[in-house]
Homo-oligomer: A and B are copies of this chain.
């Protein structure tokens, strides 16, 4: 007798992904490709879910949030920040008993409050999450199943969060190739204002100033690798980033103040012809950047 090859049971039953753009589409596609879920159903307003289905990212497209999450063991919310509270509110009455819910938003404090308000009793199974895998491209076409390989996935469990729910979400990210980090939500928002949100505002402002100046066309022609890299994230989605910056406004304005102080010092030294001061400041900057391996 030849032993029959038997596929291992998938780690998850039905998984619902709400929002199937770059992040949600990649989560869905990776779950399918790795056979980690019995079924991946997607929901998105407009044509997004049908598009994701055509791209093979999801098994089926649900017409509304309730039918997407019905019977799902895991619900992954991967929508722009302003849509999250509404999606959670629409999902709440349809959640299966024991369903685990997580999100992928770039800010955490406001999402935690939205979930606390929308999910009621199910809040204890809500695991705030943030995979660090953004890109300047977006939409289902930008999704790819290997997006999270080697990426960081931050989870910010709350005091009320059940360990079982945290373990399920961590298992998903680990299975998708991500490295896991647990952080306090407030600390997350402060650190990501610094490393991601404010730098996007700076890149947008640098592009905006060039675009509005008299050298906008010549600047395109003569841009070298330096400007291309420095401004790359300035091509990101304007609405997505306006919402992230507004949502994390307190921390972002704190970064803005410190950046403004540094910039004023640089411009002041330049105006005064103070080479020593310029070199001193650039050395501190270069030393920090040099340590970023």
Which positions 239-293 of chain A face chain B at CB distance < 8 Å?
Answer: 239, 241-243, 245-246, 249, 252-253, 255-256, 258-263, 266-267, 270-271, 273, 275, 278-279, 281-292
Are A256 and B267 within 8 A (Cβ)? yes
| Given known A-B contacts A233-B226, A233-B229, A239 and B209 have beta carbons under 8 A apart | no
Give the chain B neighbours of A256 by CB distance below 8 A.
263, 267, 270
**Secondary structure of the A side of the interface?**
helix
A279 touching B204, Cβ below 8 Å? no
Q: How far does the alpha carbon of A222 sit from the alpha carbon of B114 in the complex, in Å?
A: 25
- The answer to whether A241 and B191 touch across the interface, beta carbons within 8 angstroms, is no
Task: Report the count of interface residues on A (CB-CB < 8 A).
Answer: 88
A86 in contact (CB, < 8 A): no
Most B CB contacts (10 A, CB to CB) among A209, A266, A284, A291 go to A209
Cβ of A35 to closest chain B Cβ, rounded Å: 28
CB neighbors of B among A198-244 (8 A): 199-213, 215-216, 218-220, 222-239, 241-243
User: In the complex, A222 Cα to B205 Cα: how many Å?
Assistant: 23
* Residues of B contacting A286 in the complex (Cβ-Cβ under 8 angstroms): 204, 207, 234-238
Known contacts being A202-B230, A204-B281, is A224 close to B289, with CB within 8 Å?
no
Name 18 interchain pairs, CB-CB below 8 A, sorted by A: A195-B215, A195-B224, A199-B206, A199-B227, A204-B285, A206-B259, A207-B286, A210-B288, A212-B284, A229-B229, A229-B233, A231-B289, A236-B286, A238-B278, A238-B282, A238-B286, A239-B282, A249-B271
